Chains A and B, each alone.
Chain A
Amino acid sequence: MATVEVLLLLAVAAFLAGLAGSYLGIGGGVFLIPFMTLALGMPIKVAIAVSLIGVIATSSGAASVYVRDHLTNLRLAMFLEVGTTFGAIAGAVVGILVPNVYLFLTFGVVVLYAAASMVRVAETAKDRAYRGGEGERPLVKRLNLSSVYFDQEDQGVYRYRVDRPGAGFGASAAAGVFSGLLGVGGGFIKVPAMNVLMHVPVKAAVATSNFMIGVTAAASAFIYYSQGLVDPSLAAMVIIGVFTGTNLGTRLLVRSKAADVRFLFAIFLTGLGIAMAARALGLFGGVL
């Protein structure tokens, strides 16, 4: 059983994870899992199970606000969720079977890939948002994926076209696999996939990613839950902390400049990449 100090530390960490997660469109698992394994010394599978619960809390808490404010692209979310849920089932099955060493290895590779793909693009989301609905791919047109959102930054209404539905679908499926495998939301793949590949403005991408990750995590979380692998006390502290964090994070995002969001996301990915690479290279022998 966890001590009171551990529970309170976890609630504070969860608050920060919820804050960052709701602002960046990620579940916050990438913060919670390392914190629980490295700082609190918990086994990786306990950390993954609790983190999946935190991802659902981040998603539900943040997405509710973004849906109300019309930032979320509901159709795009549903389209990509098809791929994500298939991936999540595959990931969760594999995750229970594979040894921990592969979990860490996969974690590192995924993060570095996402960091590189985000850094490659210099164009701002606002530039893309001005392009209308012309020149849509047939699938985008058929599924009515392009959308409109209202940006509080400059009180503007932006109509944006969704590009490369196939690539985005594939990336979402991959994000689903990693979500089930590693207990993270997969938002660090989905946000770049929507923003960079599919040309969705960054705030809409963050909101839509946040909306989606809860469903992916719910499938995986229930599998862990029903096998008795979720520690309800730890999960409870995480839910309470995360919920408080998302209330602040959503307010920040709605008022932020799109350029700032992308900049912070790039910093986040780079930091994540460096941290994971260092861990994979330096600590592999000792810890695992």
Chain B
Amino acid sequence: MITARARLRVVQDRIAALRRAVLTEVEDINRLIYHILRGGVVVSVAFLLFGFILAGLTGLPLPDHSTPPRSLGPLLVQFTPAGFLNLGVLVLIFTPVARVLLSLLSFAEERDRAYVLMTAIVLTNLLISVVLLA
């Protein structure tokens, strides 16, 4: 009787452990995506607010056109509103891209070939637009 109960207990524990493992795996990737997307927007908003504060403090004009990433460095070093407003916009643009990169890693970890391929195609398409058209 006692051994039967102990065995049942072992089986129940195993089922519970398996369930936890499955749940945490799903939970992990969802959590990560949540933090990437949320974090991207929050960081972007922080840069933008900083840009507006700089404009208010320095009286420098607000920009009316975007600055390509390669020319952004000097604007940032000089602490211009244009630099930080552009940076905030750029961070936001790259937030979904970071999310796709993360998806690629998670599908690769699951060894899910079809989805690794699809995610790679999506990333390639994003790269094509950046490289060919930018």
Within the complex, which residue of B64, B103, B118 is in contact with A82, where a contact is CB–CB below 8 Å?
B118
Q: Does A92 contact B (CB under 8 A)?
A: yes
Q: Does A221 contact B (CB under 8 A)?
A: yes
Closest A residue, CB atoms, query B83: A232
**Chain B min CB distance to A170 (Å):** 16
With contacts defined as CB atoms under 8 Å apart, how many contacts are there between chain A and chain B in the complex? 174
Q: Is B126 within 8 A of A228, CB to CB?
A: no
Known A218-B97, A230-B89; contact A93-B126, beta-carbon cutoff 8 A? no
Residues of A close to B133: CB separation below 8 A: 89, 92-93, 223, 226
Q: Does A236 contact B (CB under 8 A)?
A: yes
Q: Is B126 within 8 A of A239, CB to CB?
A: no
Q: Does A248 contact B (CB under 8 A)?
A: no
Q: How many residues of B sit at the interface, in one of the four size bands?
A: 35 or more
Within the complex, which residue of B37, B41, B61, B103 is in contact with A74, where a contact is CB–CB below 8 Å?
B103
Bound-state CA distance A78–B125 (Å) is 13
Q: Is B96 within 8 A of A236, CB to CB?
A: no
Interface hits, A32-79 → B, CB 8 Å: 53, 56-57, 59-61, 63-65, 67-68, 70, 74-75, 78-79
Bound-state CA distance A239–B52 (Å) is 13
Chain B 42-56, CB-CB to A under 8 Å as 1, else 0, gives: 001100110110000
Interface hits, A228-247 → B, CB 8 Å: 228-233, 235-236, 239-240, 243
Q: Does A220 contact B (CB under 8 A)?
A: yes
Chain A residues proximal to chain B, CB less than 8 Å: 1-2, 53, 56-57, 59-61, 63-65, 67-68, 70, 74-75, 78-79, 81-82, 85-86, 88-89, 92-93, 142-143, 214-215, 217-233, 235-236, 239-240, 243
Chain A to chain B: the 8 pairs with minimum beta-carbon distance, closest first: A85-B125, A214-B96, A226-B134, A64-B37, A232-B85, A230-B66, A233-B62, A236-B48
